[in-house]
Amino acid sequence: QAKRRAPGSYHLYDPIHDHQARQQRQLYQEFAQALTQDQLVLHYQPKIRLADGQVHGLEALIRWQHPHKGLLRPDQFLPIIEDSPLEFALGEWVIKTALMQQAFWREQGQQLLISVNISPRQLQEQNFSAFLARALGLDAEQAGAQAGQLSAEQGGEQAGGQDGEQAGEQVGEQVGPLDGEQAGELGSEPVAAGSARLEIELLEIARLDNAVAAAVVMRDCKRLGVRFSLDDFGTGYASLTYFHQLPIDVVKIDRRFVLNMLDNAEDRAIVEGVLLMSRTLPRPVLAEGVESFEIGQLLQQMGCEYAQGYGIARPMPAEQVLPWLSAWAKERRWHQRATDPKP
Ligand code: C2E
Ligand code: MG
Ligand code: MG
Ligand code: MG
């Protein structure tokens, strides 16, 4: 596909491709500005525990408020920055922004597990875990230094100067880091949702070229209290293989298998297969694309732990999250069907 090539790398002159390439190049340059000019925003979509409807966390999803084109969704610009330095810059921006938002919500009395979408190639960037350690330290500072710190042993040498400054501060109840004892054992062990500060959803795991190296970085990150989910599970041939090689805490079933589960026996069989397999590991499963209460019920009967989808809530701007949470706490009202157009 053309999108994988560098812009302008066509050998034969082709007016249509030439036009596309120029547009892509322009969008790429505009995105570089978007990063520094405050045009990016995160929307948040709740995840719930099916057994009792408790809110389990929120997924941060990127949106671009383009100066001329309006609000762009990720599929309109992610392909253009894929495999470029901008993709990594975006990943760092998303992590920092989500953590600041989390700290703000914590000040408002809401401890919320936030997940971010990260390309597995970003894990292979040098110093990814050191970046994370710093970002988590920044989070603690901005939260009024209540919610946790990275001790030298948890952060490792990579966490650098942040460690000393923050060591010895109070540990938060819910999202605080793990104590030394736990940290020593951590690595392959699951990080419980309650003690995690951040969840990283790994995208397109099939494109990971060194699972062993990635697993090492993941274990470093887990010592910082970060947990990992495997996004879009069921798509991509390599998913199954990597599943056993990587320290994954939760599996997300891709929405394409969930959307039509009620009518499509094949889709239902795939969901069943993922649930069976994850039980042998064992790891909890989240189903995405849950658009109706009926599908939520069926999933729960099948043993699926968590759900996310338009039936519960669409991704929303940050300022709508606290009102949504209190409305949901009062009355867990599912939407009937996602018939209205996408936001
Ligand atoms: P994803 O991580 O699998 O995110 C789920 C996508 O499904 C989101 O689309 C969400 O709006 C949509 N969705 C959620 N519930 C439902 C539902 O019930 N029905 C239907 N039909 N769709 C639902 P969105 O926000 O357009 O994101 C698309 C993809 O873009 C994401 O898929 C993820 O792969 C990528 N992405 C989003 N944010 C980021 C980011 O910050 N960084 C990177 N690298 N990728 C991102
Ligand atoms: Mg995701
Ligand atoms: Mg997904
Ligand atoms: Mg997806």
What are 55-86's pLDDT values in tens digits?
999 999 999 999 999 999 999 999 999 989 99
Q: How much distance in Å is there from the Cα of 160 to the middle of ligand 1?
A: 34
* Beta-sheet strands, E only, within 170-220: 198-202
Give nearest CA residue, ligand 1 atom 11: 315
CA-CA distance, 60 to 97, in Å (whole number)? 9
* Local structure of 218: helix, strand or coil: helix
CA-CA distance, 88 to 170, in Å (whole number)? 32
Nearest Cα neighbor of 335 from 315, 310, 317, 316 is 310
308 CA: nearest ligand 1 atom: 15
Q: What is the mean pLDDT of residues 316-336?
A: 94
Whole-number percent of the chain with pLDDT over 70: 77
Pocket probe mutation, ligand 1, options 44, 86, 117, max atoms within 8 Å of Cβ: 117
Ligand nearest the Cα of residue 73 is 1
- What does the DSSP assignment read for 144-156? TS-S----HHHH-
Any idea which residue has 């995405």 for tokens? Answer: 288
CA-CA distance, 214 to 216, in Å (whole number)? 5
Q: How confident is the model at residue 167 (pLDDT cuts 50, 70, 90)?
A: very low
* pLDDT at residue 42, as a whole number: 98
Query: What is the residue-averaged pLDDT of the chain?
Result: 81
Strand partners, 250: 229
Q: How much distance in Å is there from the Cα of 62 to the middle of ligand 4?
A: 13
Give nearest CA residue, ligand 1 atom 4: 61
The model scores a pTM over 0.80: yes
Q: How confident is the model at residue 183 (pLDDT cuts 50, 70, 90)?
A: very low
Q: How much distance in Å is there from the Cα of 10 to the middle of ligand 3?
A: 32
Strand partners, 253: 233, 287
* Beta-sheet strands, E only, within 124-206: 198-202
* pLDDT at residue 140, as a whole number: 42
Residues 29-55: pLDDT tens digits? Answer: 999 999 999 999 999 999 999 999 999
Which H or E element spans position 65?
Answer: strand 55-66
Interface pTM (ipTM) of the complex?
Answer: 0.97
Ligand nearest the Cα of residue 94 is 1
Residues with Cβ within 8 Å of 322's Cβ and at least 6 positions away in sequence, in order, are: 105, 108, 110
CB 336 within 8 A of CB 314: no
Phi-psi sector, 162: left (phi>0), alpha (psi -120 to 50), beta: alpha
Question: What residues line ligand 1, using a CB cutoff of 6 Å?
Answer: 45, 61-62, 73-75, 78, 90, 94, 117, 119, 201, 203, 231-232, 255, 288-291, 309-310, 315, 338
43 CA: nearest ligand 1 atom: 25
- Whether the pLDDT of residue 110 is over 50: the answer is yes
Q: Which of 118-122, 197-201, 330-334 has the highest mean pLDDT?
A: 197-201
CB 277 within 8 A of CB 258: no
| Cα angle: 120, vertex 125, 131; to 5 degrees | 100
CB 274 within 8 A of CB 285: yes
CB 150 within 8 A of CB 166: yes
Q: How much distance in Å is there from the Cα of 231 to the middle of ligand 4?
A: 7
* Local structure of 212: helix, strand or coil: helix
Give nearest CA residue, ligand 1 atom 46: 117
Ion ligand 2: residues, Cβ under 5 Å: 117, 201, 231
In single-letter form, the type of residue at position 117 comes to N
Ligand nearest the Cα of residue 261 is 1
